Amino acid sequence: MYIVITVIAVVFTGSAAVTYLIGHDYPKTQADMKGIPRSWVPVLGGLLTAGTIGLLAGFAVPWLGKAAAAGLVLYFVGALIAHLRVGSRQLVGPAVFLVTEIAALVVALAR
């Protein structure tokens, strides 16, 4: 179960990281909507990339996977807060990511 959930989290987070790093319009419009400077978009993509790599590294170094999952949980809690702060009702996306990362953290801790 650990492997399946972690791989799903890696795919979700990795795809989001790529979207942020290639300069896709979606993260830019999200940043605009939340009042976040566009200059933060690559930084956020870097955090997602670091989390993705950390989840993968967790297969060999368990504490690193746990730390990455915990960091990603905090990242997506922040994303939900950013949406709520501006009154956005587009909560499904960040909620799905958050639940996925919580699941990855739970199975990593139970391992």
User: Do residues 95 and 74 touch, judged by C-beta distance below 8 A?
Assistant: no
Distance, in Å, from the CA atom of 14 to the CA atom of 45, rounded to the nearest integer, reads: 9
Nearest to 92 by CA among 103, 101, 80, 75: 80
Confidence of residue 21 (pLDDT cuts 50, 70, 90): very high
Mean pLDDT of the chain: 96
* Residue pLDDT, tens place only, 51-102: 999 999 999 999 999 999 999 999 999 999 999 999 999 899 999 999 999 9
Angle at which helix 92-110 crosses helix 2-21, to 10 degrees, equals 140
